[in-house]
Amino acid sequence: MSESPILSIGAPGFDVDKLVADLQATADRKMKDGVYADARVARAEKTNLVHLRGSDDFITFYLTCLRDAVFVDIADFDIRERRRFLSPLLVGLKKTIWKLLKFYTYRLWSQQNQVNGLIITALEGLEEQSAKRIAALEARIAELERKAPHHGG
């Protein structure tokens, strides 16, 4: 899925600030190219979102990841048992319970998927709307500043 950044670095004498800037620029470019529009990235970022609230670009990117994550596949995991003792028996028991509950969980699952889809659509709509509104306001301010007579002197 991912690729190594194409950087040629002579080990002696490289500058760590420049290295980080280069690697971050690589990541930014790959984000724009859609390399990270991935449900797994959305899940990985769940505890980091609090640190990214100030970044408009990242929130827009995160919404694209969420779009990928929003429709959950109810059968996308293996049933496992971490304890070694009686592990096959416990896995069998869990699988049986899982099958017996299908009539109930599938209904919840399909409803949840619908809600998830509606919420992400609404969020994307809101985000697009506010981005447009901010862009219009910025353009208006720029226009007013251009027209205003020189001041402050």
Partner 1 sequence: MAAERLAFVSPRFAGEGAVGGAETLLKNLAIHAVALGIPVDFLTTCAQSHYTWENSLPPGVQTIDGMNVHFFPVDDRDVGAFLRIQNTIDHGHAVGESDELFWLRNGVHSTALLGHLEANASRYRAILTGPYLFGLTWSTAMAHPERTLLIPCLHDEPFARLSVMKRLFRDAAGCLFNSHAERELAGELFGVPDAKARIVGMGIDPIEADPEVFARRHGISTPYVLYSGRREPLKGTPLLCDYMQAFRERTGRDIQVVFTGSGAIDAPDALWPHILDVGFVSETEKHEAMAGAIAFLHPSVNESFGIVLLEAFLAGTPGLVHAQSRVLVGQCRAAGAGLWFRHYPDFETQLLFLLDHPEARAELGRRGHRFVADEYAWPVVEQKFIRALDALCPA
x/- map, 64-83, partner 1, by CB under 8 A: -------------x--x-x-
Q: Which stretch binds partner 1 (CB under 8 A): 27-35, 87-95, 109-117, 145-153?
A: 27-35
For 119-141, the three-class secondary structure string (H helix, E strand, C coil) is: HHHHHHHHHHHHHHHHHHHHHHH
- Ranges within 91-150 binding partner 1 (CB under 8 A): none
Please give the C-alpha separations between residue 30 and each of 24, 68, 138, in angstroms, as whole numbers: 10, 17, 28
Are 118 and 66 a contacting pair, CB within 8 Å?
A: no
**What minimum distance in Å lies between the beta carbon of 41 and partner 1?**
5
Q: Is residue 9 near partner 1 by the rule CB under 8 A?
A: yes
Largest CA-CA distance found in the chain, in angstroms, rounded: 84
Q: Is residue 12 near partner 1 by the rule CB under 8 A?
A: yes
Place of tokens 């040629």: 8
- Nearer of residues 18 and 140 to partner 1, judged by Cβ: 18
**What minimum distance in Å lies between the beta carbon of 45 and partner 1?**
6
**What minimum distance in Å lies between the beta carbon of 35 and partner 1?**
8
Q: Is residue 7 near partner 1 by the rule CB under 8 A?
A: yes
Are 79 and 98 a contacting pair, CB within 8 Å?
A: yes
Are 45 and 61 a contacting pair, CB within 8 Å?
A: no
Q: Is residue 21 near partner 1 by the rule CB under 8 A?
A: no
Are 2 and 35 a contacting pair, CB within 8 Å?
A: yes
Write the single-letter amino acid at 120: I
Binding site for partner 1 (CB under 8 A): 1-2, 4-5, 7, 9, 11-12, 14-17, 19-20, 23-24, 26-28, 30-31, 35-36, 38, 40-41, 43-48, 51-52, 55, 58, 77, 80, 82
